[in-house]
Each structure stands twice: as structure tokens, then as C-alpha cells.
Amino acid sequence: MKPFLLLASVAALLACTMVSCVHPGTPKTQHACGFSDPEMMATMGICMLAGEYYIAHGQWPATREHLEVQTQSVLELAQGDVTDDEAVEIASFLDRFDLVELHKKGKNLVIHYRITIDKKTVENTLMLRPKATVDEIIHSSIEGL
């Protein structure tokens, strides 16, 4: 996938953290699709940012600040392809996390995060493996270490 299209996809997925895919007849508290599930989007967003950083820099992000730099890169490259509201959502994505810990384990990256969603604290640990594309990195991730 071309870098621009991949970054636009990242921007769109991060923006989806606040999108609701509620179908008629579905209670508003029930998620009708994965893109409206904030817990799934938190995992997807953090994996995509770490994967994008890895592809762009040839190494895993080591700090939250590295992920913030990658978020800014996504915003810059997606400029004109996202609405102002989506840009605000993307820019504030990492602010939703109470904790983001990154550390290498061999060639892999272990991400531990905590986020409060709908008054529920979600804590997760996952591992990303180095691959040639962000999609491959995400598909190779292992959750719940």
C-alpha cells in the first residue's frame, strides 16, 4: 500500500474512535460494529501508531512522545482528507490513555496501556512483531500477554 493511502487509512481509523455505527433498532449503548467499539479502536489506534512509527523510523517507538510525533505526522499527511472534527479527534487520541508503556522484548515491541472508556477502566498488554507493513504488524500482534 502506498504510504499516503496507509496514512489516510490510519487517520480514518483513529477518527473512527468516536463514530457510531448503530443500526436501527440497536440500543445506543450496544456497539453494532467494531469501529464503534472504543475498546477495539483504542487497541487498533495504538497498534497503528506504533506500526507507523516502526515503518517510518526503522525502529520501535520507545516513548509516548514518539507516538505523539507519529500522530502529528499522520495529521500532516492526511491534511485535506479529514474534517476539522476528525483532525481534533486524531490529535487528542493519545490524551485518552491514562498509561502507555512501551518496551522492546527481543525484536518485538510490548505495549501496555490503560484507558477509561464509559467509566470502565480497560488495561491491556500486547506484542507487535516487526514486519514490512503496518497491516502485517497489526495482524501479527498478540494480545493479553
Torsion of CA 144, 59, 137, 66, to 10 degrees: 70
Which pLDDT belongs to residue 120? 92
What is the chain's mean pLDDT, rounded?
80
Q: Give which of 32, 22, 11 is closest to 93, Cα–Cα.
A: 11
- When pLDDT is averaged across residues 85-93 and rounded to a whole number, the result is 90
The burial class, CB within 10 Å (0-12 / 13-18 / 19+), for 48 is buried
Does 18 have pLDDT greater than 50?
no
Q: What is the pLDDT of residue 140?
A: 84
In total, how many domains does the chain have? 1
- Domain of residue 97, residue span: 3-143
Higher pLDDT, 12 or 78: 78
What band does 144 get if pLDDT is binned at 50, 70 and 90? Answer: low
Q: How far apart are CA 93 and CA 98, in angstroms?
A: 11
What are φ and ψ of residue 28, in 5° steps?
A: -65, -20
Kindly report the pTM of this predicted structure. 0.74
Q: What is the pLDDT of residue 118?
A: 86
